Amino acid sequence: MKLIFTRGTFREKLFSSMLFTTLTTLMLCSSLLLIVFSSRMEDSARQEADTLISVVSSSISDLRDSTEKIGSKLNRNSLVINAMSGGGAFPQQTYYELYNATSGLRDYVQFYLYDTNGALQYSTSSAGHSRTLPTNWGILLAAASHHGELVFRGADAFSYPDRDAVLYAARSIVNNSGDAVGYFVANLSEDNLQELLEGKFGSRNTLYITDAFMRTIYCSRPAETDSPVPALRSAMLSNTPVSSDEYNYYMRHEPTSGLYIILRQPKAFTRDTTRLLRTVASFLVLGSIALCVFVSFNLSRQLSDPIGKITSAMAEVEKGSLDTRVNLHRSDELGQLADNFDNMVERLKTYMDKLIQGQRDLDEAQIRMMQAQLNPHFLCNTLDTMKWLGKMNGVPEISNISMDLADILRACISTDEFVLLGDELELLNRYIRIQRIRFPGRFTYAARGHEKYIDCIVPKLILQPLVENAILHGLADRDNGSIVLSVSEQPGSLLRIAVSDDGSGIPEGTAVEVVSRESIILTVKPLN
């Protein structure tokens, strides 16, 4: 991971860093949101299931409580007790009492009165039912064993002859002496139970009601062939959770009735849903990656391109091009950096121009100072006098020296700062003749390559100091030395004038400095 951010160009490192950071943040946020969303969906589904089971349980409890109140009311009715004891001379009144007591539940529940022998005496149902129930088993036996308490059972638990019923409730009817005189029985058909629970457990869910032995007595989807109840019973016995890819199961036990209420709820994220979410997530991730790449690439380019321009401009300035400018025209920090760089280069150029001009002024002042060291008019008049004295006394050497020196002095006092190379070489020849008289036979002089450059303009008296240095220092201990002046053209319309000698040389530490003084490069004005 370190190599990604340390190798490559600044743009590549910036692009990689931004892309990695963005994608990592995107993945973490997406995973966190998915986890939170799944958890909230599961919590919501669990809360919904608990609420629905509570509603169903409340309905069944209300049904039981209402049935128990009816049984208690009939057990306190003297007319009913008398009729069940064998003194029922007025059956119409008994029916009236039965119908009056059960008025609130007759739409859902059918009610029956049996004598102690299990024979049916009275009923609120118009359909045909068993006229006799055995008292030694089933619902009547359970009612007799509970001594006046209401018992609540599922149909399969006791194989009640009324196969349409799914729930039964019964209690014994006792007289004032505490002896059982009959039985009060209520049953609830599957259709009636469906009507009672309609809309209370959700249209997508499936409701199961089992007896105490986990045998199904009701299913909201009767056509369903694959019931989960056996698996739930096995899981409950083995104390293991029931797993399913498509459903969640919620179960509640009713201790008063002994029933189990089971709600099967489709998972919020089924296989198909998960597959769809993965497909959508894949497209979203790919789109996000493409967007991240696009944004990271453009942002890195916006940051790296100005830096690249500034770097290139710095390289040009390093080469000496002080006319280089960045000119980003941006208002951000990079634009401020580019403007500061341009201002710095502009100030540097101004400083260099002033420095060059100052050096030129200094050189001119030095030349003028050298030119003003002698009284030109006095020397020229004196040298003319010496020239005529030499001629009058027959000494040509004095006449020649005086004439050459006078010409050199006249060149010094002239107002012209630049002369032709040919004129400068002529003055140098006059200086050489003077030195040959002074040092007869000790050196030779030759000029090479100057013929086609005699019309070039050069500063006056620029060559004499170089030749003088060669004579005084280079040939000081020689009797037959040589001095060579060479003129050559350099690239860029430049003229190189070099003075060399074959003298004894100079100390090694000052060789570069002296050689540089014996070579001059001038701008050609013009070069014909």
Q: Which residues contact 22 (CB under 8 A, 6 or more apart)?
A: 292, 295, 296
Last-in-domain residue among 269, 303, 321:
269
CB 253 within 8 A of CB 210: no
267-311 tens-digit pLDDT = 876 667 667 777 877 777 788 778 777 777 777 777 777 777 888
Secondary structure E strands in 449-527: 457-459, 481-490, 494-501, 519-523
pLDDT classification of 159: cutoffs 50, 70, 90: very low
Number of structural domains in the chain? 2
Residue span of the structural domain in which 139 resides:
41-269
Name 498's bridge partners.
Answer: 486, 519
Q: Which residues contact 201 (CB under 8 A, 6 or more apart)?
A: 52, 53, 55, 56, 207, 220, 263
CA–CA dist 304, 15 (Å, integer): 10
Q: Which of 463, 465, 400 is nearest to 437 (CA)?
A: 400
Is 13 part of any domain? no
Is 428 part of any domain? no
Last-in-domain residue among 214, 236, 269:
269
DSSP code, position 227:
-
Q: Which two tokens stand for residue 223?
A: 């056509």
Q: Which of 31, 11, 1 is nearest to 285 (CA)?
A: 31
Is 371 part of any domain? no
pLDDT classification of 204: cutoffs 50, 70, 90: confident
Residue with more model confidence, 385 or 11: 385
Is 162 part of any domain? yes
Domain of residue 149, CATH code: 3.30.450.20
Is 358 part of any domain? no
Is 333 part of any domain? no
Is 121 part of any domain? yes
Is 415 part of any domain? no
pLDDT classification of 184: cutoffs 50, 70, 90: very high
CB 17 within 8 A of CB 28: no
The answer to whether residue 130 scores a pLDDT higher than 70 is no
34-81 tens-digit pLDDT = 778 777 878 888 888 888 889 988 888 888 889 899 989 988 888 888
**pLDDT at residue number 499:** 87
φ and ψ at 330, to 5 degrees? -120, 150
Three-state SS for 462? coil
Mean pLDDT estimate for the chain? 78
Which whole number is the average pLDDT over 368-379? 60
Last-in-domain residue among 218, 245, 269:
269
Please state, in angstroms and as integers, the Cα–Cα distance from residue 190 to each residue in 178, 210, 252, 408, following that order.
35, 13, 20, 142
CB 262 within 8 A of CB 229: yes
**pLDDT at residue number 520:** 55
DSSP code, position 164:
T
